[in-house]
Amino acid sequence: MGTNQGGEKWGPIRLVPGVTTGNAWAFMLASFFGIGMLTFVNIGQAYVMNEILGIPTDEQGTLSGNLAFATEIVVLCVVGGFGVASDRIGRRPVIVAGMIVMAIAYVLYPLAGSINELTAYRVIYAVGMAATTGMLGTIVNDYPEDISRGKMIAIGGIFNAFGILFVNGGLGRLPDYFLSQGFDGVAAGRYTHWIVAAIIIPVVMILAFTLQGGTPARKEERPPVSHLMRRGLSEARNPRIALAYLSAFVARSDLVIMGTFVVLWGTIAGIEQGLTTGEAVKRATLIFVIAHTAGLLWMPVMGLIIDRVNRVTALAIGTALAAIGFGAMGLVDDPLDSGARYLFVLLGIGQVSCFFASQALIGQEAPVKERGSVMGMFGFFGAFGILLATVIGGRLFDTWMPAAPFVLVGSVNVVICLLALIVRVRHGSAQSGPESTMKIDARPGTE
């Protein structure tokens, strides 16, 4: 692994030359609000379906799956383009634009008067989500030296988790608060969404001036767009990149399945038990918070594992833990039962482990000058996995059992774990080389 000593130290992280500690803090701000605000769609959606649109509870799993399907179709169409764009104009303008689009979507979301309108607003959200998540995944691999990659991903994940806790544990309570103040259900939902959108705007303004500008290659060295588009797929000839692409199939599915169906499952269970929609959403959100808190506490451990073992081995460990955590959901009868909470702890640990290990492997293997393009293809495979998991899982949620989407993803994690073991035995360790470190060209005019 490269250990270029020319970069700054940021706590335990050695940054690549050209990246400052201020850039690192800016990335953590993006991690906190970017992922946190993205996950709010699951809380907002459960509320909109029940309180604003009045969707029958036995149809909400399918509808949630369909909305996630629409999201991932959009992601499949645009995520590669965002990756290529980031290699040409820089990461910063792409993530800033993505978060602005996400804010617009949250302004519109609670105004939906039909399923078709809700789907249209979800498509707008999907464009912002693709740009934001794609750049977060790219930047977390741009900034650290490879020897610090696992720790950087873990610290970024901790900020992700705190952001999710802030949104779900704090902003997720706003609908119930507005109801208690005498507002009707429609107004409560709208005001909550608009507060979320309003928070995003000052964050975007800060990021526009504090994230690292420029691209990994100097302007005269930047590969042409046609080359970048080909490289994302051709790099799969590297068996470890091919494995990372397949791992994206479950790594992002884990996160979205957990976000989409945990809150929905708990909300429906609460309504069936006679709770108001606001109270049901609040209690369902608590389950989500428990899972993410468990993941938060586990993140430093997984980060250390990733930096101390072969990255393919780390992926095998991560997918094994995910298979256990997601498979354990099949044992849950009532998600609001306090006795089931330890199983949601396993779920949070498993989701984090798979996601971190997958990010570290692709970050290690992706060539520096085409990293955005390779990460775009990584996102493409992730979107395709989410597409299948949410559509199939949503229907199984309604027709079989609410835990079905989790059991489905847990089963796929078993397959990826076995493939990781095969790659580890047959192809061994990655070859370190000159592209294991990078220097971002941040000269004026490079954006």
Residues near 103 by Cβ (< 8 Å), separated by ≥ 6? 128, 197, 198, 200, 201, 204
pLDDT tens digits along 113-124: 888 998 999 999
The pLDDT value recorded for residue 37 is 84
**Which residues touch 101 (CB under 8 Å, ≥6 apart)?**
124, 125, 127, 128, 131
Phi and psi torsions of 441, nearest 5°: -85, 105
Report d(CA 228, CA 236) in Å as an integer: 14
Extract the tokens encoding 202. Answer: 């000052």
3-state secondary structure of 212: coil
**Tokens linked to 384:** 């395709």
Instruction: Give the number of other CB atoms < 10 A from CB of residue 226.
Output: 9
- Greatest mean pLDDT among 39-48, 119-128, 362-371: 119-128
Burial of 201 (0-12, 13-18, 19+ CB in 10 A): exposed
User: How many Cβ atoms from other residues are within 10 Å of residue 114's Cβ?
Assistant: 9
What domains, with CATH codes, occur in the chain? 20-212+237-430 (1.20.1250.20)
Q: Binning pLDDT at 50, 70 and 90, where does residue 3 land?
A: very low
Is the separation of the CB atoms in 60 and 264 below 8 Å?
A: yes
Query: Helix, strand, or coil here: 184?
Result: coil
What value does the mean pLDDT take over residues 213-231? 53
Quick one: average pLDDT of 209-238? 61
Higher per-residue confidence, 381 vs 93:
93
Using pLDDT thresholds of 50, 70 and 90, give the confidence band for residue 216. Answer: low
> b/e per residue, 426-443, with b = 16+ CB within 10 A?
eeeebeeeebbbbbbbbe
Looking at residue 137, its pLDDT comes to 80
Least confident of 3-7, 265-269, 367-371: 3-7
Highest mean pLDDT among 172-181, 288-297, 386-395: 288-297
Average pLDDT (18-45) is 86
Query: What pLDDT sits at residue 231?
Result: 62
CB atoms within 10 A of CB 425: 9
Q: Which of 30, 87, 137 is CA-nearest to residue 359?
A: 137
